[in-house]
């Protein structure tokens, strides 16, 4: 029979992991299993200006920057050049996919009241200045591509407990009619 102390420790451990804000089980709500080996199809050539390495897409529009509060995707070249670079239209195989957390430090302001219990007791405020974005970093490969191309698709910057990876629908919306994913 299991001793009472061991049983109490197990229950405490289970309760502590269930209380972690934003905790998600591996594989829950992400595309790490579906993206590797899939195809990324770029429908048009993309020209990247001199001195830049990335083209961002948000709401189906290409730009050199993106709004931090909405999902987006970036096509990233391996090096900066003094002349324009063209990312050619075609089919790219998605290789390795890793998840990265991008951090941004926002200026500290007055705390925002999130929850008030009773007559003003036990106030819970969020005065953190750190916001994060969860992003997929995908290596793209094609026979016609001599260098490595990277596709980064990130969710919106948010408080750590609310940040999440973008869904496939959000990534498709970000890219618009410039590109699509073909999953197996």
- Residue 68 is assigned to a structural domain of this protein: yes
- Residue 178 is assigned to a structural domain of this protein: yes
What is the DSSP secondary structure assignment for residue 23, as one 8-state letter? -
Least confident of 7-11, 77-81, 87-91, 140-144: 7-11
Give the mean pLDDT of the chain: 80
- Residue 174 is assigned to a structural domain of this protein: yes
Task: Give the predicted TM-score (pTM) of the model.
Answer: 0.73
pLDDT in tens, 112-171: 555 545 444 444 444 556 789 999 999 999 887 766 899 999 998 888 888 999 999 999
When divided into structural domains, the chain yields a total of 1
The strand order across the sheet containing 39-42 reads 61-63, 54-58, 72-76, 149-154, 130-141, 90-105, 39-42, 179-182
pLDDT in tens, 64-75: 888 888 999 999
Show the domain range for 125: 33-182
> Taking the mean position of all CA atoms in its chain, how far away is CA 11?
33
Give the C-alpha distances (Å, rounded to integers) separating 126 from 22, 94, 133.
15, 38, 17
- Residue 43 is assigned to a structural domain of this protein: yes
- Residue 87 is assigned to a structural domain of this protein: yes
- Residue 71 is assigned to a structural domain of this protein: yes
Max Cα–Cα distance, the chain, nearest Å: 73
């Amino acid at each position: 029979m299991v001793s009472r102390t061991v049983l109490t420790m197990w229950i405490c451990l289970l309760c502590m992991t269930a209380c972690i804000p934003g905790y998600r089980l591996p594989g829950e709500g992400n595309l790490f299993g579906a993206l590797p080996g899939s195809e990324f199809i770029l429908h048009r050539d993309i020209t990247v200006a001199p001195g830049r390495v990335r083209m961002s897409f948000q709401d189906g529009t290409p730009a050199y920057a993106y709004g931090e509060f909405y999902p987006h995707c970036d096509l990233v070249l391996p090096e900066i050049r003094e002349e324009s670079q063209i990312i050619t239209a075609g089919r790219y195989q998605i290789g390795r996919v890793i998840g990265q957390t991008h951090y941004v430090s926002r200026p500290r302001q007055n705390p925002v009241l999130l929850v008030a219990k009773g007559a003003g007791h036990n106030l819970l405020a969020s005065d953190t200045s750190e916001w994060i974005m969860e992003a997929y970093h995908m290596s793209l490969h094609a026979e016609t591509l001599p260098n490595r191309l990277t596709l980064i698709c990130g969710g919106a910057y948010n408080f750590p407990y609310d940040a999440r990876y973008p869904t496939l629908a959000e990534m498709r919306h970000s890219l618009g009619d410039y590109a699509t994913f073909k999953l197996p």
